[in-house]
Amino acid sequence: MNTLTVKIPPSLDEALAQASARTHINKSELVRRALDLYLRQRDVEQPFVSALDQAGDLAGCFAGGPRDLSSNPEHLAGFGRI
């Protein structure tokens, strides 16, 4: 079995020690199980999808309007005011 050294904050070490005492499983085994569970769950989760990926069909679909809409602060005058 390979060895991996990991630095953890004292609060996490205390929580790990308490879990180890409560379950009668040594800290190394608890960390192995937690890492295994994390990696298996990560494999089945949906991959990251950016906002552009989600709304890609909308990008560039607007026709008309000022050419400098995204860069001219004058177009934001009064924006957000009721």
pLDDT digits (tens, 9 = 90+) for 27-42: 999 999 999 999 888 7
Domain coordinates of the chain in residue numbers? 1-43
| Average pLDDT in the chain | 88
Between residues 78 and 24, the one the model is more confident about = 24
pLDDT value, residue 54: 84
- Tens-digit pLDDT profile for residues 46-70: 777 888 888 878 877 777 888 888 8
CATH 1.25.40 fits 1-43, yes or no: no
Q: What is the DSSP secondary structure assignment for residue 80, as one 8-state letter?
A: T
pTM, rounded to two decimals:
0.53
Is the sign of the CA dihedral 65, 69, 70, 76 positive or negative? negative
pLDDT value, residue 20: 96
Minimal CA–CA distance to 35: which of 56, 8, 57? 8
